[in-house]
Amino acid sequence: MGKNKLKKFADMKQYDCVFEYPRHLIPESGFPMQGSWNRDFFHRDAPIVLELGCGKGEYTVGLAESDPTRNYIGLDIKGARMWSGATQVEERSIPNAAFLRTSIELIDRFFAPGEVSELWITFPDPQMKKTRKRLTSTRFLENYRRIMGPDGIVNLKTDSPFLYEYTRRLAELNSLEILRQTDDLYGSGQADPESSIKTYYEQQWLARGKKIKLISFRLGEEVLREPEEDDIERDDYRAYPRGLVDERLRGARIEHTSLPDVE
């Protein structure tokens, strides 16, 4: 582990806006603020919105600054990435943002039924081979219901045609109320301040000419079923290495065919 990463972990332990609870650190008595985030941390009554798989925390920070009337929490298991957004919250004293370092599978250990009103899932791994790991699969949606209820809203923002189509089919199969859907967010005229926040990785996809997709839906309360997916075309591209992304974003001419595939 490099010195820079060690420093980031040390910083995170000092940040008031960060709560670190990997699986082995969850107390037997449960997370002490479960059901009382607004009272004990945000110190006000406002809707709570989560960003799942928040990575560097850019979207969480952007959401919190774009809408001060709601409280935002970014959740991810990788603390070194989260450091970037958490540092911005600390340095800029953003009062309506926090970060929780834990596994998404454990989300119901940290929030009480009905405590969360909305989720943002931004550019997750589409998990084309593993349905159970897909963040919009029935397994995860059932878990989201435990903290949101049937009126809870899920927003998926993705570059993946496969994940978008899979999620759209799942919502339609289960008669979930679709609030918004587009396979070309910026070309459709549906982009708004929340959905227009661009993370580092979204800029990567845009630089490659990829269209950004968005679907928003309510969770509903019926038993959920998985859609057929054998005929959904699989994505045929992967992420660039970071150095090459930086060159592309600076306008360098890099041919897609010359780049190695990187997960």
Active site residues: 125
Give the three-class secondary structure for 74.
strand
Give the three-class secondary structure for 182.
strand
CA nearest to 82, candidates 57, 53, 107 = 57
Maximum pairwise Cα distance, the chain: 55
Regarding beta strands 118-122 and 153-158, do their DSSP bridges make them parallel or antiparallel, or are they unpaired?
parallel
Q: Establish how many alpha carbons lie within 13 A of residue 152's alpha carbon, considering only the half-sphere containing its beta carbon.
A: 24
Give the three-class secondary structure for 13.
helix
Instruction: Please give the Cα distance from 204 to 201 (Å, whole number).
Output: 5
